[in-house]
Amino acid sequence: MKIVILAGGQGTRFWPWSVKNRPKQFLTLMSELTMLQQTYYRFRKWLPPEKIFIATTDEYVPLIKQQLNYVNNEQLIVEPIQRDTGPCIAFTAFKFIKDFDDEAFATVPADHYIPDDNSLPEIFTLAEKLAEREFAIVTLGIQPTRPETGYGYIQTETDGNQFNQALRVKAFIEKPCLEKAEKLLKTKNVYWNSGVFIWKSTTIAHYMKKFQSEIWNTLTRNKGNLSRHQYSILPKISVDCAILEKAENIYMIPFDSAWDDVGNWSAWERLNKKTTDDNLVLGDVHLLSTKNCIIKSEDRKALVIGVEDLIIASTKDGVLVCHKSQEQKIKDILKNISDGSEQSEKSEETN
């Protein structure tokens, strides 16, 4: 089978450490290796290099070649512009079909932390067999350990023996509020959605034609060769919303090893050792009467006095001061700023 590493996102929830010109997948968040390098080597343990592809956008190709200098152009699937995972996965499937390739492949995010990956070959082998069934989609589910509001959830039909039996998916559940997340934690047959999917290109084509005909027809009409403008008008939609929440033949395999989506500051905090008074500090930071804070300071001395439960980050790209309870709003405010800038630029062009 093939692996397609999704490495085109901008990682806005990790701002200002992760920024548009160098998002989190290209940062050394968990080791001396970047998240992209860790993901690539995870699959190179048992797959040859020609079976591992990287889906990204034009602007990140130089970074990928810098960090994985042995990856050739044939292993890169380059979108003209970032349009979320729905168009990206459709674009990837179309390219494989165009090359008369309908081998099952897995789409995997570039920012997952999996310290013990020894069971992955067995799991992916089972997933590949299931994905050969007609219009079947396979995903990996993670047993919840806390009421997480930053993940989507999967509800399955019945219990089964882990790794020996896949479970049929009953429903995908959107990222919940805290109250709902606490209820889901106590509900049987509910798992975190890992964002890992295994499928054939023709399966993706089937569901895209059925549920997202605008995306698939645009790719077909242009034979997959879209300009930036043509690609930019495709719906910006996640693959979950595009087809997964509507498809009827989905299986889930439980993955019971340690796993984390290093998607935001809280995730980084969970996976690193804290110092005195439950603070997590990186850089030249000096504290007084400060508790339960995440603090990162680049290239300058920082003094933090008399606060608690804050995320404080200072880099060359900006400064963030945020209460931990409001972390999910970082992405929203950055989107508002970005949308405002785009509108201003369009207005200036019109005038």
Tens of pLDDT along 11-67? 899 999 999 999 999 999 988 999 999 999 999 999 999 999 999 999 999 999 999
pTM: 0.91
173-211 pLDDT per residue, tens: 999 999 999 999 999 999 999 999 999 999 999 999 999
Q: How far apart are CA 261 and CA 110, in angstroms?
A: 9
Instruction: Answer for the pair 198, 106: CB distance below 8 angstroms, yes or no.
Output: yes
301-341 pLDDT per residue, tens: 999 999 999 999 999 999 999 999 999 899 899 988 876 54
Q: Do residues 283 and 242 share a domain?
A: no
| H/E run at residue 154 | strand 153-156
Tell me if 337 is assigned to some domain. Answer: no
Phi/psi region, residue 176 (left: phi>0; alpha: psi -120 to 50; beta: rest), is beta
Q: How far is CA 181 from CA 17, 146, 257, 332, in A?
A: 28, 8, 21, 21
Q: Do residues 91 and 234 share a domain?
A: yes
In one-letter notation, the amino acid at residue 318 is G
Q: How far apart are CA 54 and CA 6, in angstroms?
A: 6
Q: Do residues 240 and 291 share a domain?
A: no
Q: How far apart are CA 173 and CA 154, in angstroms?
A: 6
Q: Do residues 185 and 258 share a domain?
A: yes
226-255 pLDDT per residue, tens: 999 999 999 999 999 999 999 989 999 999
Select from 264, 291, 309 the last residue of a domain: 264
In which band, very low, low, confident or very high, does the pLDDT at 350 lie, cut at 50, 70 and 90?
Answer: very low
Q: Do residues 197 and 315 share a domain?
A: no
Compute the Cα dihedral for 124, 129, 135, 136 and give only its sign: negative
Range of the domain at 255: 2-264
Q: Do residues 290 and 255 share a domain?
A: no
DSSP 237: -
DSSP code per residue over 274-293: --GGG-EEEEEEEEES-BS-
Proportion of the chain above pLDDT 90, given as a percent? 79
Q: Do residues 195 and 122 share a domain?
A: yes
Q: Which residues face 310 on adjacent strands?
A: 323
In which band, very low, low, confident or very high, does the pLDDT at 344 lie, cut at 50, 70 and 90?
Answer: very low
47: exposed, middle or buried (Cβ count in 10 Å: 0-12, 13-18, 19+): middle
Tell me if 61 is assigned to some domain. Answer: yes
Q: Do residues 203 and 292 share a domain?
A: no
Q: Which residues face 38 on adjacent strands?
A: none
Q: Do residues 154 and 256 share a domain?
A: yes
How many domains would you assign to the chain?
2
In which band, very low, low, confident or very high, does the pLDDT at 159 lie, cut at 50, 70 and 90?
Answer: low
Q: How far apart are CA 217 and CA 223, in angstroms?
A: 10
Q: What is the CATH number of the domain that holds 159?
A: 3.90.550.10
